[in-house]
Structures are given as structure tokens and as C-alpha cells.
Amino acid sequence: MTASSRRAVLTGIGALSAIGQDAASFWDSLQAGRGGIRTIQGLDTSGLPVHMAAQVIPFDAKKFVEKDQRKSLKMMARTVQLAVAAAQLALVDSGVDKKQLDPTRFGIEFGCGLIATELDELGDAAAVSANGRPGSVDLEKWGSEGLERIQPLWMLKYLPNMPACHISIFHDARGPNNTITANDVAGLLAFGEAYRILVRDEADFFFVGGAESKINGLSLVRQCLFEPLSRHNQEPEKACRPFDKGRDGIVLGEGAGVLIMEELEHAKRRNAHIYAEVVGFGSSFDRGRKGSGLARAIRAALADARIGPEAIDHVNAHGVGSVEGDAWEARGINEVFGGLDTPVLAAKSYIGHLGAGGASLELAASLLGLKNGVVPATLNHQTPDPACPVNVIAGSPRPAKQAHVLKISVTPMGQCAALVCRKWD
């Protein structure tokens, strides 16, 4: 087999979200139109303007790992624990026997963002360094007394490459291993990189995905200061309104989506169940967020897949729910699909905004939709916005009529990525 003849397929789904902690429950919620955005639990948000999010509750990482691995969990931030759990779910769903895998051709491509520390882990150090003046830092005190109050291994809980590191250790994956930290687009870029590595014959089997938890005291304060968050606290389940005229901002979430990507012949030899084939990828930068850059990424992915826009069953949008962000994304989608009335799904209306963890979990929604022959409806889309000229699936699910789905992701700065998958028959 030549490298050019190698094909990449998706054979396992690990979905850990506010609407389900495995692929089956995740899909049941999507099909039923049951979202996961609620008033935040376990954290006092009374001093913040936002009191809602999509939380994974309850979550016990111990249930997802072997007994001899549990002691490692105490050195993992919540984001890392979510990633490790979703990877285990994906592996089980794939039905693979790890003993039959070549560990040197077993890789990990992962998207992750900034992992915020828990406040109590720096609280003592911060208090002594303030030297009696809240809001200030005495650097001499920080060096002489503050640092010694921080656990020596503190930073290892929060480095963004830790999900990939722990997953590789747990599963003896010694092949290509990389973490991409390009904000919201990181997870989809991870798919593009794994796809190309696999086709080049440098690996056979991958964990691919992303994870993130934004439900953290430090992270929430930062998000409230710098992100256009929804203030629709009185009805949290209706707060995330992608592409709707009444949308007022982003709703935060947490979770992880990890998929198994493997070479087609490798999958066939073990008689694996195949959800879809990865057939195209593209990326770009949209300077000024005018939409033309996003359209370039979409066209590149379609060209790589050797199909036209008319072959796409639906677009799985970034759909973050912000006023400007949705309008920009809609312009890019419309530039490619205008006149075709291609349906659009915005899964964040169910699971919130997961940053680097969003793309893979959202893609799982489309893959499960193609498998079951029905595409979920976007929640809370009631009034179309002329500034968002896209055909949002709303009200009730619709039949999946074609074999290809397009997943897109963007960042507020203008980075764009697009992935095309084809249903496996």
C-alpha cells in the first residue's frame, strides 16, 4: 500500500458533556432536544454577572480509569481528567484490543487551551505576597515566602499538553504526540494533523480530540471581563441562541470529545465499526473577520474531499452565540453555500462553549446523526437574523439526506478550520 492510497476512518467516539457522559446518552439528549445549560452548581457566582453554564455533573474520573491509574488523578486538573475519561470511552467504543496495536504507531493529537488553576492552590501564596495590601504583590515576599507555599508539582496539573501526556502514558501510545493550543480551533486542527500524519503512513491509530473546562473561579472572572457572555441568567436553558436575532452572547461549558481515527485497512483487519471517513481538511486566517477567510478554509476542505458544496448534508457550525461572531461565521458559510439552502447545526446550544474541547464533541453530534439518519435541531433558534443568512435546523430534527458533513471552527482572532467527513456505508 502506498501512502497516497491510505485512508482515515473514525471508529470510536468518547463524548463527555453536560448532556451525557457517553455517546449513547449524548445522542439521546440531542435527539430529544434536551440541553445541558443550567444555573452553576458548586461555585459561588453571586459576585459575577453570569450564573449559568453547561456543567458535567456529576463527574467522577475514577469511574473511567483502571484502579492502578487512579492515584494519578490527583495530579490532574479537571480539564485533564475530562480528557482522560473521554479517551477511555472512545477506546471502549472502538472495540480495539490494545495488545494488538503497535505502540510506536499509536498516536495522539489533541487540542487544549489555557487551564486555569484552582484558586485555593495559590491562595496562601497570594495572601502572604500581598503583604497586607489586597490587590498588590510584594515581589520580595513572593520570592521569599510565597513560592514555598505552592506545591512543587503545581504547574504539572495545568500545562496544556498534560491531557495528551497522561493519555499516552495510560495507553502506552508511543507514536506521534502533539498538543495544539490555538484556542477554539485547536481541536479541529488536531484532526487535520492526525489525518495527514496517518495518510503519510507515519501512524495507524490515533486518539484525536480536545477537552476544556471553563467552569472555574479564576476562569469565570476572566471570561466575564473579556468575553461577550450571555446575561440571560433567568432562563439559562434558553441563553445560548446561535444565529438567532435575540442572541446576546456566549454561554460557557465544559467537557471532552475524543475520537478514534485509524487507517482504513487497519480498521478492516480487526472488523471495526466505522462511523465515517475523513476525506478533506482546510485551514485559513480571516483577516478582519469578513467571512472570506472562513470561506477559503471551507473551499480547501471541499477541494481536498473532491466534492462541491452541493454534496454536503449539513454544516456543523462553530455557532458560538455572540452577536458579531455568528454574523461573521454566517457570512463565510453563505459565501460558499449561498443559494443551496444547506442546513446548519449549532451544537453549542446544547453543551455550551468548550473552547478547545468543542469541535470534537460537536463533530460527534454530526457523526451520530449520520449514523442514525437524522440531524438534531439547534436549540433556541426562533427568529432568523438577516445578519446571519444561513438555514439553521430548528424546531425538530431533520432527516440526513446526504453522506457528507462539514465541521467548521473559528477563533475570535480569525483562525479558521474546516473538516469534511463521509458517512461509512
Q: 62-110, pLDDT tens digit by residue?
A: 999 988 899 999 999 999 999 999 999 999 999 999 999 999 999 999 9
Distance CA 66, CA 317 (A): 36
Dihedral (C-alpha) 264, 267, 268, 270: value to the nearest 10 degrees?
160
Q: How far apart are CA 242 and CA 377, in angstroms?
A: 12
Domain residue spans in the chain?
A: 8-118+154-269, 120-149, 280-423
Query: What does the pLDDT average to over 27-48?
Result: 97
Distance CA 68, CA 47 (A): 41
Cα diameter, the chain: 69
Mean per-residue pLDDT over the chain, rounded: 96
Q: Which of 323, 309, 320, 386 is nearest to 353 (CA)?
A: 320
Q: Which three cell numbers stand for residue 387?
A: 445578519
* pLDDT the model gives residue 425: 86
Confidence tier at 3 by pLDDT (50, 70, 90): low
Task: Give CA–CA dist 201/207, Å, rounded.
Answer: 16
Tens of pLDDT along 131-165? Answer: 778 778 889 988 999 999 998 889 899 999 999 99
8-118+154-269: CATH superfamily: Thiolase/Chalcone synthase (3.40.47.10)
Place of cell 487544549: 112
Q: Is the pLDDT of residue 2 over 90?
A: no
* CATH superfamily of this structure's domain 280-423: Thiolase/Chalcone synthase (3.40.47.10)
Check whether 315 has a pLDDT greater than 60: yes
Reported pTM: 0.95
Asked whether 331 and 304 are in contact (CB, 8 A), the reply is no
Q: What is the mean pLDDT of residues 1-13?
A: 86
- Whether the Cβ atoms of residue 366 and residue 409 lie closer than 8 Å to each other: no
Mean pLDDT within 215-220: 92
For residue 108, give Cα distances in angstroms to 5, 66, 99, 370: 22, 20, 17, 25
